[in-house]
């Protein structure tokens, strides 16, 4: 069981109905999807709620890493198809630009780790495809079953999936809609690793702590450099643009100086809040 800490915020987190917000460490935000009877399907109000949550995390200096998980036997079973059915004859309300769960197309500043406790289908799978790191329980399963319902995975997963697992495997997932086990997803490189059953949140918290103990400036800037390659930019162009835009911000900050000074003085660095 992960204990909840009491961090000091510069701003209050937004109110939530779909998800439970907790703080297993003062620098870590844990978002738990909490519609177990609906297998944590996300409706339109939920996308907007989560967009506010992740935007708040990026702006809140005290939080350095986010984690998302689910209550019950599902991580997230995708869209609320009952809501889709009621809106089929009307103009659908668009989800935020950040995508499904405000994560499938999120860029953001700070990393988000997915702790997949159960099934991740449709939009739930699209969420994990764009998360920065993914841990899964042995019983977790992944699928893009949209073709079985006459729809498509339109929240950003398809072009991202093919970059992660390659063309043949991405085609197999998207065109057959079959379920992929945690073990298979691990072997494909879709997730970071499989952890002990029942311990996926605790493992994600430990991973988040290992990120949070580093320079917050260096984490953000390193993540930006990786994202440029992830979005399909050539290595040389990505390095040049990253070096011209993000690296100067790192140099101007106090944390780079502190990290070097702490190494020379053989002590643990005392990081300041990121001001990038």
Strands 65-70 and 119-121, by their bridges, are unpaired
126 carries an active-site annotation: yes
Label residues 55-89 b or e (16+ Cβ within 10 Å = b).
Answer: bbbeebeebbbbbbbbbbebbbbbbbeebeeeeee
Q: The tokens 């841990």 sit on which residue?
A: 135
Q: Which of 146, 206, 231, 258 is catalytic?
A: 146
Q: Which of 49, 60, 126, 224 is catalytic?
A: 126
Q: Which two tokens stand for residue 73?
A: 């036997």
* DSSP states along 224-252: HHHHHHHTT--HHHHHHHHHHHTHHHHHH
For 152, residues 6+ apart whose C-beta sits below 8 A from its C-beta are 146, 158
- Among the listed residues 84, 26, 24, 76, the one whose alpha carbon sits nearest the alpha carbon of residue 50: 76
202 carries an active-site annotation: no
Q: Which two tokens stand for residue 49?
A: 């709620």
Q: Which two tokens stand for residue 108?
A: 């953001």
CA distances to 9, 57, 149 from 60, rounded to whole Å, are 7, 5, 39
Residues involved in catalysis: 126, 146
């Amino acid at each position: 069981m992960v204990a909840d800490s009491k961090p000091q915020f510069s701003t209050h987190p937004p109110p939530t109905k779909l998800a439970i917000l907790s703080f297993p460490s003062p620098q870590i935000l844990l978002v738990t999807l909490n519609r177990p009877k609906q297998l944590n399907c996300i409706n339109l109000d939920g996308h907007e709620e989560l967009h506010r949550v992740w935007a708040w995390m990026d702006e809140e200096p005290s939080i350095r890493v986010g984690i998302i998980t689910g209550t019950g036997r599902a991580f997230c079973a995708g869209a609320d198809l009952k809501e889709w059915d009621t809106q089929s004859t009307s103009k659908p309300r668009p989800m935020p630009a950040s995508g499904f769960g405000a994560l499938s197309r999120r860029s953001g500043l700070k990393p988000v780790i997915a702790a997949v406790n159960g099934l991740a289908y449709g939009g739930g799978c699209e969420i994990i495809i764009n998360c920065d790191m993914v841990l899964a329980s042995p019983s977790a399963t992944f699928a893009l079953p949209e073709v079985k319902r006459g729809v498509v995975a339109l929240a950003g997963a398809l072009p991202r999936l093919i970059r992660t697992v390659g063309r043949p495997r991405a085609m197999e997932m998207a065109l057959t809609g079959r379920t992929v086990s945690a073990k298979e997803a691990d072997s494909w490189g879709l997730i970071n690793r499989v952890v002990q059953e029942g311990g996926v949140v605790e493992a994600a918290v430990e991973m988040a702590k290992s990120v949070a103990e580093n320079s917050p400036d260096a984490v953000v800037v390193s993540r930006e450099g990786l994202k440029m390659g992830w979005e399909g930019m050539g290595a040389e162009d990505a390095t040049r643009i990253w070096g011209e835009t993000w690296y100067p911000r790192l140099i101007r900050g106090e944390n780079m100086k502190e990290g070097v000074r702490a190494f020379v003085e053989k002590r643990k660095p005392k990081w300041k809040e990121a001001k990038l």
